[in-house]
Structure 1
């Protein structure tokens, strides 16, 4: 099977994403978190897998994910140390950038083996394709490119083994499982996009409300303040002729 290459049409976007050193360091650290979470999910999948061959492959995959997390984190921290201002750990819109999403907090105990393998196959295929694309635009950072290309190569291996295990364990359901996994990934991608857009829209609306509504109220308060006398002023004498208690 040939190595997966990133989409050539996306290269200008990838160059823009990775051109900023702060964003580059931030993305690497975020990838480290995703790989670490994927390792935990795969270790759990290995624990519950009944097939001994699949159990060994899940375990080896989990160890690879742990190693990827270390590689991403080490390189990300090294880049951050070179920056005078590393910036925030996360910014709005980070989720719109393509990259490995891990297994989206899958409950592996409740997943059918065919469904889990299909989802892993598609996730690793997407990761390999995207990481190969990222590596192609990092000519000015050979160390980061070497890390990403090494991990992309591993993801291609994960893509192949998961498909082989799927066809071995569920040959008659493989195509259906892959189709359902694609629909599942599309739905989750839509939900991620919708949440990010909703967050952006709410921030925009609140900003507009702040600048459109606050100035009129401030102007009214200022005019009211000008109409009031400055300092202490005498109040009209009030006599209580009602025969109060005192």
Structure 2
């Protein structure tokens, strides 16, 4: 029987698939850390109060990258190159979602609208990240090898999502509501396509590493396409709503350390 638990267990139990999984995750998190660091440095003068929170967001993402690399080191495995078709962040940028790296490499201050775009894009991608980590905590939160890492990252992703909700609501009150609605919708519709494509690509690579028979690989691909059909029909709406989070000022304090994952 195919299930998220059994599939992830296969990936964790096999060195080659675990190596690819952690390498993809570490690369994406580190890229997110760089992006947030640049955004924090370029925040416009009228929004400088957000810079510490954006910096904290980036520090968390960097920490997650270190955690995944530490999981590899603990098995004596090096990182491997990330196949381009599995690079979620890069593929989103190619679709014009979020702030382009070319803009972030300049030394020109961002605009208020750029910060709105950053937060709206983050609200969508952090929704995905929080949901994925919730699932992994449910099935592997007590796993002796990866459980501690999963719980730590899940806590951070919940904080990131809460921060996006709270700051976007404040910006909506400041008059950015229409821009927020537009960017949220565009980001969500692009994200679900990219997530489908990346999921299919990762499944293909994992299937070859783990020797999955053709019927199993086909069933998994069909499941991914079925999920996309649901998300395209109505599921994407969960990514665009805004509500005041229970966790207020979630990124207002000092970032947590990474004991055991230096």
TM-score (norm 1): 0.61
Distance 1:70 1:136 in 2: 23
Residue 41 (structure 1) shift: 0.6
Distance 1:187 1:130 in 2: 16
What do the CA deviations read for 1:170-225 (whole angstroms, capped 9, x no partner)? 342333332121012134335547878999xxxxxxxxxxxxxxxxxxxxxxxxxx
Q: Which residue of 1 aligns with 2:183?
A: 177
Distance 1:91 1:32 in 2: 10
Distance 1:135 1:16 in 2: 16
Change (3 A) 1:177 1:17: same
> May I ask how many residue pairs the two structures share in their alignment?
183
TM-score (norm 2): 0.58
- Within 5 Å, which residues of 2 pair with 1:85-104? 89=80, 95=86, 101-102=88-89, 104=92
Q: Which residue of 2 aligns with 1:38?
A: 32
Pair 1:29 & 2:35 matched: no
* Residue 124 of structure 1, aligned match among 123, 126, 148: 126
Q: CA RMSD in A?
A: 3.6
* Residue 71 of structure 1, aligned match among 67, 72, 82: 67
Q: Which residue of 1 aligns with 2:7?
A: 13
| Ranges of 4+ aligned residues in structure 1 off by more than 4 Å | 90-94, 102-106, 190-199
Q: Is the 8 A contact 1:115 1:181 kept in 2?
A: no
What do the CA deviations read for 1:56-115 (whole angstroms, capped 9, x no partner)? 211111111111111111112212x2xxxx6993697983xxxx9447454164873222
Distance 2:9 2:24 in 1: 18
Residue 121 (structure 1) shift: 1.2
Q: Which residue of 1 aligns with 2:135?
A: 133
Q: Is the 8 A contact 1:29 1:73 kept in 2?
A: yes
Change (3 A) 1:90 1:137: farther
Gaps of 5+ in 1: 1-8, 200-246
Residue 116 (structure 1) shift: 1.6
Gaps of 5+ in 2: 94-98, 104-109, 206-262
Rg (Cα) greater in structure: 1
